[in-house]
Amino acid sequence: MVAPDTGELTRAHIEVRVDPLTRHTSRILPDRGLMPPNDFDLEAFARESQARCPFCPDRIERLTPRLPPVIDPDGRIARGEAVLFPNLHAYSSHSCVSVYSPRLHYLPLGRITERLMADNLTAQVAYAKAVMATEPASRWASINANHMLPSGSSLFHPHLQGVVDSRPTTVQRMLADVPAARFDAYLEAERRNGERALGRIGRVEWLVSFAPIAPAELRAFVRGVSSPAELDDDLTTELAVGLSRAANAYAELGYESFNLAIYGAPPGTEGYPLNLRIACRSNLKPLYRSDSTFLERLHWEGAVDLAPEDVADRIRDRFTP
Ligand SMILES: [Zn+2]
């Protein structure tokens, strides 16, 4: 292009990367300040939205639906402070919501603890197991999050969402089709290269995406299990430790909204490591810029101006002992 100020011919450097697993492409842009840190008063907004919140202590019992007895005799799954119930606005044949705690209407990312995450994940795992036990055809489970409004959450009160269905989502299907050797080669190459590797927490391996589809995207891989329904308590805790550190690291980078997907394949899928993506979303503010553009929504192509290697450098110390 010819620069407007100098009139000189200039070039911008755009790197197009191919994801080693699903072969989608992603664009790494020069830093353009597309993801400014949070300056929104989330606490004040929390106070405003609290009065009508159906997930808060006085209303959760009354205003949220109950699980059918065949899935859980108590109607809700409680683990620690976490409470899980069906999603009133379902996305699949089995769709649930689990709050970290009814008392935590306001839960900034820096305050997500290992305990809160582990209890919430444990409730989700119990749900996936219970649904699969009653309905063996529902073999595809995922545990997800829209944390804060920019991520797609319609309710302010922080929660996870579980989906168990007889059919996979597009990305679940794409990942389940990846040959086992390709997962091995990817992890091997990332370990060797080291620029995006974060570390291992128990049996869970963490890294920053080589070809992210969203800003500051991290991935984790759990060998030996292919579905959330196969996670035991120890493994769930190991996963939760990493997720809480990821959330805390995002807070440190200035972000307060994220999406999460733990992509289950059918239990026992040979060679498929349970894996996840977690990524930041734009911060809440009036007239904010969405991080999801025509590229992400309609071309299915990531475009980020946070270089994965810089993200890894900034957060790696949280993942290493
Ligand atoms: Zn609430």
pLDDT tens for each residue of 38-88? 999 999 999 999 999 999 998 999 999 999 999 999 999 999 999 999 999
Buried b or exposed e, range 244-280, using 16+ CB within 10 angstroms: bbbbbbbbebebbbbbbbbbbbbbebeebbbbbbbbb
Task: At 155, list the tokens.
Answer: 């309710």
Q: How many angstroms does the Cα of residue 102 sit away from the middle of ligand 1?
A: 7
Amino acid letter at 176?
A
Q: How many angstroms does the Cα of residue 51 sit away from the middle of ligand 1?
A: 8
pLDDT at 321 over 80: no
Q: How many angstroms does the Cα of residue 177 sit away from the middle of ligand 1?
A: 39
Q: How many angstroms does the Cα of residue 47 sit away from the middle of ligand 1?
A: 9
Q: How many angstroms does the Cα of residue 105 sit away from the middle of ligand 1?
A: 4
Amino acid letter at 317?
D
- Calpha distance 87→297 (Å, rounded): 25
Task: At 191, list the tokens.
Answer: 């370990």
pLDDT digits (tens, 9 = 90+) for 306-315: 999 999 999 9
Percent of the chain with pLDDT over 90: 93
Has this prediction a pTM greater than 0.85?
A: yes
- Spell out which residues have Cβ within 5 A of ligand 1, the ion: 53, 55-56, 105, 157
Q: How many angstroms does the Cα of residue 97 sit away from the middle of ligand 1?
A: 13
pLDDT at 254 over 80: yes
- Per-residue model confidence (pLDDT) at position 287: 85
- Per-residue model confidence (pLDDT) at position 193: 96
User: What integer is the mean pLDDT of 223-237?
Assistant: 97
Give how far Cα 1 sits from Cα of 11, 14, 32, 305, Å: 6, 14, 17, 19
Q: How many angstroms does the Cα of residue 12 sit away from the middle of ligand 1?
A: 45
Q: How many angstroms does the Cα of residue 113 sit away from the middle of ligand 1?
A: 18
Give how far Cα 43 sits from Cα of 3, 50, 104, Å: 43, 10, 12
Q: How many angstroms does the Cα of residue 162 sit away from the middle of ligand 1?
A: 19
User: What integer is the mean pLDDT of 166-185?
Assistant: 98
pLDDT at 285 over 90: no
Q: How many angstroms does the Cα of residue 30 sit away from the middle of ligand 1?
A: 39
Q: How many angstroms does the Cα of residue 82 sit away from the middle of ligand 1?
A: 13
Tell how many helices (H) and how many strands (E) occur in the chain.
Answer: 8, 13
Q: How many angstroms does the Cα of residue 43 sit away from the middle of ligand 1?
A: 12
Q: How many angstroms does the Cα of residue 101 sit away from the middle of ligand 1?
A: 9
Q: How many angstroms does the Cα of residue 157 sit away from the middle of ligand 1?
A: 4
- Per-residue model confidence (pLDDT) at position 218: 98
Indicate the average pLDDT of the chain: 96
Q: How many angstroms does the Cα of residue 59 sit away from the middle of ligand 1?
A: 9
Q: How confident is the model at residue 320 (pLDDT cuts 50, 70, 90)?
A: confident
Q: In the chain, helix, strand, coil percent, each to 5?
A: 30, 20, 45
User: What integer is the mean pLDDT of 92-102?
Assistant: 97
pLDDT digits (tens, 9 = 90+) for 109-135: 999 999 999 999 999 999 999 999 999
